[in-house]
Structure 1
Amino acid sequence: MLADLQFSEYGMINLGAEMSLMHLNTNIRQTQKLSLKLQHAVQLLQMSSLDFAAIVRSKLNENPFLEEEEQGEDDEIITGQSGDSGALLCESTPDNTVLEDRDFSIYDGNTGKRHSKEDDVTAMELMASPTTLSMYLHGQINLLPLSRRDSFIAKAIIDSIDDDGYLRTSILDIADFLNLSPTPQIEELMTALHLVQSLEPIGVGARSVSECLTLQCQSIDDISIKNMAVKIINKYLDSLVARDISRLKTLIGEPTTLIEDAVDAIRRLDPRPGWKISSPRVDYIIPDVIVRKQKDKWVVRLNPAVIPRLRINKVYEELFLRQHRKEHPQLTQDLQDARWTLSNVAQRFSTILDIAEAIVRKQALFLEFGAMAMKPLLLKEIANEVGVHESTVSRATNNKYIATPIGIFELRYFFSRSIVSASGAACSPTAIRELMSELIATESPKIPMSDGEITIKLAEQGINVARRTVTKYRQLLQIESANRRVRHAS
């Protein structure tokens, strides 16, 4: 259109034929736009309990009108380890009289004295000190009859080993750091390194994955399998990592059984030997919701451990309201923010509780009989029952956990699409995986079922799934293929 504009000799713009195409239209449309506060409320709903607790803690530190209520003595706190599907781990005892009658005196083996509970013995003093990999290796090297110089070099190498058990620092850099006189030669350094590599756990002090696995191969009893494993590690590690066994057979040209036995032996090795000694990192889960059966009825309630105990300081609020609020705009904003924070906390946990109750009603059979009774469930079904949008259900179940008598599960665990059986009944993938697990558990160890045979077994029970689906479910269950199961059995 701009190309058609023409200027006359009087400076006027001639729109030409385009003028007839220009017109005004008035349309009224209604759109939804989330306010900043509503957007923030949605973000708070999606957070995990730990992240939400951090936000609340920052609000407590920043807002003068917010204060924390004291926790009641009878509040129950439930925790569980990450991935734990067993019973609940910790629960406070409502009856404190039992604890008061116990003898909490502590015997000190060094002094022969018994400290009573009134003595200054803290819980931290009673905790076992974690053993690190460095401490473990230093303890071994101190028992060896080494000269002062050799011990000094070996300990310097130990101090350079990381938590995985690897020496990722150059041996020459360690020598420069030692600043010994005379300067250690490479032969002396390698002797100290080999000494460190002979310590437990086997494989420690390696400079690469290949070297770590090669060191561990020395524990293989069968000489032929040991030599084949070392050969695969040092020459064909890429094919091993890619699990390309057929290519290994082609490249090596040795008997198939020997190659398979060597590969199995390699897979039983530990690429991170340092983890055997270092204190394992345990991730604990604090469930947001607790479900218990009371009088033949499943009762759902929030876990008090995740609910922030907030309230507005009434003294500060009344003092502020008596003053002229226009003179203190920041305090006015703080008071509004405090009220809004309390409202968001209540809304968040009310939504989580409503959705958890709806899930428990839908999956009551799962709580009674286990994973085999899991029903297919969609976000839309819970959204319709609770009266919220599907996205709200998705956010409320993200990183939220529920404690049940049979374990702690993420709320998302209960959702799955349905698979129609031969009889027309809907079945969930969770139930199918549980059935597969039982079929494999009852198979003959010497004649394990292939994925195709498992597919036929499922079809005989009215569940028609593709073989590739069975393979995917088996891998999710971390169950090896039939060929590997039969080799392990033999």
Structure 2
Amino acid sequence: MKQGLSLRVSQHLALTPQLQQSIRLLQLSTLEMAQEVEQMLDENPFLERGEEVADREDFGVQTADAPVVAGEQLEEAAQPVVELRSAEPDTRTTQADSADNSSDDVESRLDGAAPVEESWEGDGTVEMAPDDSEWGGDAPARNSGSGGDDDDTATAADLARVPVSLQDQLHEQARCLRLSDEDSAALFFLIESLNDDGYLEDSLHELARACWRLTAGRPADEEPRFDEVEAIEQRLGMALQWLQQMEPTGVGARDLGECLRLQIMELRNTPAARAALAICEQPLELMAKRDIKRLCAATGHDDETVRAALALIARLEPKPGRRFVDVERNVVVPDVIVTRAGRGFKVSLNAEVMPRLRVHDVYANALRGRREAGGEAGHAAMQQRLQEARWFIKNIQQRFDTILRVSSAIVERQRNFFMHGELAKRPLVLREIADELGLHESTISRVTTAKYMATPFGTYELKYFFGSSLGTETGGNASSTAVRALLKQFIASEEPTKPLSDNQLSDLLKEQGIECARRTVAKYREALRIAPANLRKAL
């Protein structure tokens, strides 16, 4: 075996920390991006949020030394003199103290710096780079919370909008009842056992066993005696009667039929109400299918009364606790805003979601001065932190630039949508945008995920503008989104007494020149959350 040395040239792809961070930031949503920025601001001392600086006015500091004309001197002499005393401290002393504190803070951070595992391959410079200036300057500054009448008003309005939960509403009503301690505890236990819709999902027997374990404080594997559970179940039964008499009507029901019966009993005693009570005693499948003949036979009422009873039931609330549910309101903040500009459209980034970041010049200058003074302790680690801050700002800028490029290409491809609506939307796939911009399909997929665009027709996710195509008789393609919009238009204009079936909808699409099978129509209809024809039929 002979040993020797040889040279071989090969290529391989290495994901540097900068590239990894760029890819990760690209796929983050607006909320996740804001959290990432806050975390980086806490961890990196060289990164700070930019402050909004007011523009220098022409009549301000620049004209402070300008001579005053004679006419203005006479006007000032004629006006009364009012002495104003400022309550603010001397700015010179405050600035000097803050400068001393900043220097002490920098020294303490530099001395106690920990080594950084990732290498950002800095160029060894600690001077302010040309791109270290503030980025995202178009974004408005956040409210500093310095106080004022507006802040107090906003706080009071926020407190007034705090939603009241179903449990809080019921506990408030329970305080008005004159109950014993045991009955109050049983009612409290039932209220806390309700789900978000206001139903009791567990039976009274199961709740009694759970209540026995809570009151006795015994392990879960120990079984209670029958008489103990029966006594608790009777007390819970009495508490359930009080609960079902509270507002909203129907709360505390065990199933949908009982919920509807509780609401019907609060209405006037009419033939329709009596028929509605009888219908609720029957299997709910008959009511869901609106089987008038079987309901008439089961309840003993005529056809007209049963129809009136079904119309009465349709006006009831199947989920009494729905309006009390504290639904997390995910307000969609668009990343891109599209507005009309003449005959075309203007695509711009939303300044509210763009973080205003810059490198802390005081810390960077202190690091440079420490190197010039010959201090090497912790210098390499802090240099990596400085380079990390620079790359973070650059990657954020690159993220928004990519979003803007992709959004502009989407608007150009879907121009008919922005002019006429979703019926004019054309088929579009990721490869078309990727080939146009010279990017990879995975990059386009990351950009269009959890990124939103505000359009004249509403706010949509960027992925909404991509869709498959269906063939037409002329040999062209129609977007699946446009087909769904056309189906929704057909169903909205149908006769309530004679709703269109899936076969009829498929035939209507064929008349429009779109080849769409019945099963495809059913799939699109279910995606639009539209009921089938037998459930859409009006009584």
In which range does the TM-score fall when normalised by the shorter chain?
0.7 to 0.9
SS in 2 for 1:285: coil
Q: Which residue of 2 aligns with 1:327?
A: 377
The answer to whether 1:37 aligns with 2:18 is: yes
SS in 2 for 1:372: helix
The one-letter code matched in structure 2 to 1:53 is A
Between 1 and 2, higher relative CO (CA 8 Å, sep ≥ 6) is seen in 2
Q: Which residue of 2 aligns with 1:460?
A: 511
> What percentage of residue pairs aligned between the two structures are identical?
39
Using a 3 Å threshold, how does the CA distance of structure 1 residues 389 and 119 change in structure 2: closer, same or farther?
Answer: closer
Displacement after TM superposition at 1:60 (Å): 0.6
Q: Which residue of 2 aligns with 1:384?
A: 435
Q: Conserved in 1, the CA contact under 8 Å of 2:359 and 2:390? A: yes
Q: Conserved in 2, the CA contact under 8 Å of 1:153 and 1:189? A: yes
> Residues 52-95 of structure 1: CA distance to partner in whole angstroms, max 9, x if unpaired?
11111111111111110125799xxxxxxxxxxxxxxxxxxx9x
SS in 1 for 2:348: strand
Structure 1 CA distance, aligned partners of 2:256 and 2:376?
68
Task: Return the TM-score normalized by structure 2.
Answer: 0.66
Displacement after TM superposition at 1:336 (Å): 1.1
Q: Which residue of 2 aligns with 1:6?
A: none
Structure 1 CA distance, aligned partners of 2:459 and 2:150?
39
The gaps in structure 1 that reach 5 residues or longer are 1-18, 20-24, 75-93, 95-116
Q: Which residue of 2 aligns with 1:187?
A: 234
Structure 2 CA distance, aligned partners of 1:321 and 1:26?
42
Q: Conserved in 2, the CA contact under 8 Å of 1:217 and 1:229? A: no
* Structure 1, 303-312 or 261-270: larger mean CA deviation: 261-270
Structure 1 CA distance, aligned partners of 2:265 and 2:212?
28
Displacement after TM superposition at 1:396 (Å): 0.5
Q: Conserved in 2, the CA contact under 8 Å of 1:165 and 1:273? A: yes
1:285 pairs, out of 329, 332, 336, with 332
Displacement after TM superposition at 1:440 (Å): 1.5
The one-letter code matched in structure 2 to 1:136 is Q
Q: Which residue of 2 aligns with 1:101?
A: none
Q: Which residue of 2 aligns with 1:81?
A: none
Task: Return the TM-score normalized by structure 1.
Answer: 0.72
Query: Aligned pairs, how many?
Result: 411
Q: Conserved in 1, the CA contact under 8 Å of 2:423 and 2:482? A: yes
Structure 2 CA distance, aligned partners of 1:222 and 1:403?
48
Write out aligned runs for 1:89-128 (5 A).
121-126=152-157, 127-128=159-160
Q: Conserved in 2, the CA contact under 8 Å of 1:71 and 1:309? A: no
Q: Conserved in 1, the CA contact under 8 Å of 2:196 and 2:322? A: yes
Structure 2 CA distance, aligned partners of 1:271 and 1:28?
72
SS in 2 for 1:293: strand
Structure 2 CA distance, aligned partners of 1:478 and 1:120?
43
Using a 3 Å threshold, how does the CA distance of structure 1 residues 185 and 442 change in structure 2: closer, same or farther?
Answer: closer
2:413 pairs, out of 362, 378, 384, with 362
Q: Conserved in 1, the CA contact under 8 Å of 2:264 and 2:276? A: no
SS in 2 for 1:316: helix
Structure 1 CA distance, aligned partners of 2:306 and 2:447?
50
Using a 3 Å threshold, how does the CA distance of structure 1 residues 146 and 318 change in structure 2: closer, same or farther?
Answer: closer
Displacement after TM superposition at 1:175 (Å): 6.5
Q: Which residue of 2 aligns with 1:470?
A: 521
Structure 2 CA distance, aligned partners of 1:30 and 1:144?
80
* Structure 1, 307-316 or 322-331: larger mean CA deviation: 322-331
Structure 2 CA distance, aligned partners of 1:259 and 1:326?
90
Q: Which residue of 2 aligns with 1:16?
A: none
Displacement after TM superposition at 1:479 (Å): 1.6
Q: Conserved in 2, the CA contact under 8 Å of 1:157 and 1:174? A: no
The one-letter code matched in structure 2 to 1:171 is A
Structure 2 CA distance, aligned partners of 1:406 and 1:400?
17
Q: Conserved in 2, the CA contact under 8 Å of 1:203 and 1:215? A: yes
2:404 pairs, out of 346, 353, 357, with 353
Using a 3 Å threshold, how does the CA distance of structure 1 residues 178 and 202 change in structure 2: closer, same or farther?
Answer: farther
Q: Which residue of 2 aligns with 1:139?
A: 172
Structure 2 CA distance, aligned partners of 1:270 and 1:175?
33
Displacement after TM superposition at 1:222 (Å): 5.5
Q: Which residue of 2 aligns with 1:274?
A: 321
Structure 1 CA distance, aligned partners of 2:446 and 2:277?
52
Q: CA RMSD in A?
A: 4.1
SS in 2 for 1:416: coil
The one-letter code matched in structure 2 to 1:305 is E
Write out aligned runs for 1:10-159 (5 A).
30-71=11-52, 121-126=152-157, 127-128=159-160, 129-144=162-177, 150-151=183-184, 153-159=186-192
Q: Conserved in 1, the CA contact under 8 Å of 2:339 and 2:346? A: yes
Structure 2 CA distance, aligned partners of 1:428 and 1:58?
42
Structure 2 CA distance, aligned partners of 1:54 and 1:268?
44
The one-letter code matched in structure 2 to 1:170 is L
The one-letter code matched in structure 2 to 1:123 is A
Using a 3 Å threshold, how does the CA distance of structure 1 residues 166 and 423 change in structure 2: closer, same or farther?
Answer: same
Displacement after TM superposition at 1:331 (Å): 0.6
Using a 3 Å threshold, how does the CA distance of structure 1 residues 51 and 260 change in structure 2: closer, same or farther?
Answer: farther
The answer to whether 1:300 aligns with 2:337 is: no
Q: Conserved in 2, the CA contact under 8 Å of 1:201 and 1:276? A: no
The one-letter code matched in structure 2 to 1:439 is F
Write out aligned runs for 1:195-214 (5 A).
195-206=242-253
> Residues 322-343 of structure 1: CA distance to partner in whole angstroms, max 9, x if unpaired?
3227432221111111011011
Structure 1 CA distance, aligned partners of 2:151 and 2:466?
52
Using a 3 Å threshold, how does the CA distance of structure 1 residues 272 and 30 change in structure 2: closer, same or farther?
Answer: farther
* Structure 1, 310-319 or 182-191: larger mean CA deviation: 182-191
Q: Conserved in 2, the CA contact under 8 Å of 1:217 and 1:230? A: no
The one-letter code matched in structure 1 to 2:438 is G
